[in-house]
Amino acid sequence: MDVARAASKQVVALLVSGKYREIEWLTKGRRLTAEHMQEAIGEYGRELTMPPEVQFDALDLVDIERSNPMQCSVRIDLWTKEEGRSDLTLELTLTMMSGEHKVGIEIDNLHVA
């Protein structure tokens, strides 16, 4: 699903860049605020980096049954400069907008797995 891949990659790139306010705007502030994201990353104590491209080709993506519009849940392992693949996980809900190539994004959780 190209739309899910692009949306997931966009959120991870913003996290890596520390653009928490942009993520909050993108997600309409649902569930996690910029402060919550900054705090979670800060408490982890390592510097985020973009995962290899192959990580976005094999997303842990699950369709949410009977959702209208169609939704899916995505779990993404985040990477750090110090560790490579880290214990930090980003969980998203993506809502496919009907008739468009747009997607609604919600961050469900950002936590140590």
Which residue type is seen at 99?
G
The CATH code of the domain that includes 13 is: 3.10.450
What is the residue range of 92's domain?
2-112
Please write the tens of the pLDDT for every residue from 92-101.
999 987 666 6
Number of compact structural domains in the chain: 1
Report pTM.
0.91
H or E element, residue 74? strand 71-80
Instruction: State how far the Cα of 17 lies from the Cα of 37, in Å rounded to an integer.
Output: 12
Per residue in 32-65, pLDDT (tens digit) is 899 999 999 999 999 999 999 999 988 888 989 9
